[in-house]
Structure 1
Amino acid sequence: MFCMRTILVCLFAMLTFGSCKKKDDAGAAKTMLKVKYGTDVRQAMDIYLPANRNTATTPVLILIHGGGWTEGSRSDLNAVVDTLQRRMPDYAICNISYRLAANGQNIFPAQENDVKAAVEFIFNKQTEYGISNHFALLGASAGAHLALLHTYKYSSPVKIKAVVSFFGPTELVQMYNNPPNPLIPLLLAGVTGGTPTSNSAIYQQSSPYNFVVAGASPTLLLHGSNDVVVAASQSSILHDKLNSVSVPNQYVLYPGAGHGDWTSAVYTDAFLKVETFIKQYNP
């Protein structure tokens, strides 16, 4: 009798402690670094969960770094994480890395597939992480291209509610044929495995512009007028396409700004617009 009573008391204590621990975890902010969503070393993310989160109302913002699809890492956006946490403390933030194209390896659509896998991984962790199915994407340069591509191309397992592009490529054939500098065609040929003539399918399938339809997710486009890596026309043509099918969007062109080498005043304005936009469409 004594042993059975002891077992029951211990079991009750374990269950009580377990439930309290779960509640305490959800009540406190939590950071998880180098969370793997695949087997490659670059298929990983850093996750920042807010305090008092829950599966009904805690929105998710996924960040995707740039680097021409050939370099860079999620650590490049650590300052952005800090900025967004201060502005949007109730949001869960996932900062992802992905495989990089190099020497004929991991060419398109490897990066597209990695973003899809990362989104699916986060979606499947909703209950464990205490997050909702309200997802938004934000990317810079090549990361913006990947954010736009995923948003317009995929609606399963979750439709992205809003997407933000910092100077991202949108239509790769035009980018190849009308480059802002002579290195761009070489870069595109390297990451796609060909030219628009030799490999037209991958250029078509990798261009967010081609997947815009009525009902696409609201889009915020931020670009500098003097960008010599991704021409501002890449955002303006997408803006026109979104308008043509009545998709809510905002295009902000910063006069004199280049490819990310923006002044603090420009970045302050940009992140104010990001905050307002994301809160409007992915509250």
Structure 2
Amino acid sequence: MIQEQLIERTYTYKVVESVNIQADVFRKSDERIRPVIVWIHGGCLMGGSRTNLGKQELMKYVEEGYAVVSIDYRLSPQVMLKSIIEDLQDAFRWVREQGPALFQIDPDRLAVIGSSAGGYLTLMAGFCVEPKPVALVSFFGYGDVAGKWYAEPDDHYCKQPPASREENLYLYCRQNGLWPNIVAGHDPKTEPRAFDPYCPVRNVTEAYPPTLLLHGDNDTDVPHEQSVIMAEEFARVGVAYEFVSYPGAGHGLGANYSDAVNKTVAFLRKYLQ
């Protein structure tokens, strides 16, 4: 596709205390009503941006015929997880209510794609967003934010020099098992039920959307097991899903990423076309 055939626009979908929370929209420059992908960036809920969507991946989705909406959301520790989820819900509400007029999409053909923390928010969208998306794709995401992997010191990160909260908050959290406390404002050891609304693995029902899970089995940031436990829940209740495990791949999938995008396109063809 030549650049002139691509429309790119930025919208403010929400304003909080004079801060504009924005979304970038990409689509072919025609008037055809198109299915839509909401893309959610990663960054441990502490960093990242809607601009992190890679050009090759974006163009793959646009050439396939989708409009793509890449959203920002507020980040921790400036806000707690509850507020991040509210941003997620408001973004989907805006896409459904305003998208048809603003960028010619069919809100009933809506899928979600996200990586890492964006994969977590994608899985959250499977039960905290109404109407539910048609399909979900989680690139090395996670379903349990209160599990030992996040709530206890991590062996991989503890091999690195100790970090202070001020110099590297994420590393500090992983070395001390404090990510759930700082991001959600609750201690999973003393308040385990406080995490029920924020753990996709605790909220899988028969109504959960069809889901594609993509994960490397040598991921030292988000354990491969996080996709395994989601797959087990899907199988238990009868949710349609596919789980692609990449042997030897670490966080981000490395050279396997383009294959994961191709598998994503094939998966979405089943539900959005």
Match of 1:82 in 2: 59
Query: Which residue matches 1:111?
Result: 84
Matches within 5 A, 1:46-61: 46-55=24-33, 58-61=34-37
Residue by residue, what CA displacement relative to the aligned partner does 1:209-234 show, whole Å, maximum 9, x if unpaired?
11110131000000011111110000
Q: How many angstroms does 1:279 deviate by? A: 1.2
Matched-pair contact (CA < 8 Å) for 1:162–1:278: yes
Whether the 8 Å CA contact 2:21–2:72 is kept in 1: the answer is yes
Q: CA deviation at 1:75?
A: 1.1
* CA positional deviation for 1:268: 2.0
Answer yes or no: is 1:128 the counterpart of 2:99.
no
Structure 1 counterpart of 2:264, one-letter code: V
Which residue in 1 is equivalent to 2:122?
Answer: 147
The amino acid of 1:85's aligned partner reads V
Q: Distance in 2 between matches of 1:51 and 1:247?
A: 36
- Structure 1 residues 10-42: Cα deviation after superposition (integer angstroms, max 9, x where no partner): xxxxxxxxxxxxxxxxxx753212x11111446
Which residue number corresponds to residue 267 of structure 1? 257
Give 1:220's aligned residue: 212
Aligned ranges 1:163-182 → 2 under 5 Å: 163-174=136-147, 175-177=149-151, 179=154, 181=156
Q: Which residue of 121, 137, 161 maps to 2:112?
A: 137
**CA distance in 2 between partners of 1:137 and 1:96 (Å):** 11
Give the superposition deviation at 1:78. 3.5
Cα gap change, 1:194 to 1:242, in 2 (>3 Å):
same
How much has 1:137 moved relative to structure 2? 0.3
Q: How far apart are residue 187 of structure 1 and its match?
A: 2.1
- Deviation of 1:149 (Å): 0.4
Amino acid aligned to 1:138: I
Identity %: 30
Equivalents in 1 of 2:76, 2:257: separation in Å? 29
More strand by share: 2
Q: 1:157-205 CA deviation, whole Å, 9 max, x = no partner?
A: x320000001111012223356564543222221111321333344211
Structure 2: runs of 5+ lacking an equivalent: 159-172
Q: Give the distance between the partners of 2:126 and 2:111, measured in 1 at CA.
A: 9
TM (normalized to structure 2)? 0.83
Q: Tell me whether 1:277 sits opposite 2:253 in the alignment.
A: no
Residue 256 of structure 1 pairs with residue 241 of structure 2: no
Counterpart residue identity of residue 276, structure 1 = A
Name 2:167's counterpart in structure 1: none
Partners of 2:80 and 2:243 lie apart in 1 by 30
Equivalent in the alignment of 2:49:
73
SS in 2 for 1:38: strand
> Separation in 2 of the partners of 1:76 and 1:221?
20
Q: How far apart, in 2, do the equivalents of 1:180 and 1:240 lie?
A: 25
Letter in 1 for 2:187: T
1:204-215 alignment, distance < 5 Å: 204-215=196-207
**Residues in 2 aligned to 1:180 and 1:64: alpha-carbon distance in whole angstroms:** 28
State the alpha-carbon separation in 2 of the partners of residues 194 and 143 from structure 1: 21
Q: Which has the larger radius of gyration?
A: 1
- Residue 162 of structure 2 aligns with which residue? none
SS in 1 for 2:112: strand
- Measure, in 1, the Cα distance between the counterparts of 2:39 and 2:7: 17
Q: Which residue of 2 aligns with 1:64?
A: 40
What RMSD over aligned residues (CA atoms) do the two structures have, in Å?
Answer: 1.9
Aligned ranges 1:11-30 → 2 under 5 Å: 29-30=6-7
Question: Post-superposition shift, 1:53?
Answer: 4.0
- Give distance in 2, aligned partners of 1:138 and 1:256: 23
Any gaps of 5 or more consecutive residues in structure 1?
Answer: 1-27
Query: Match for residue 14 of structure 1?
Result: none
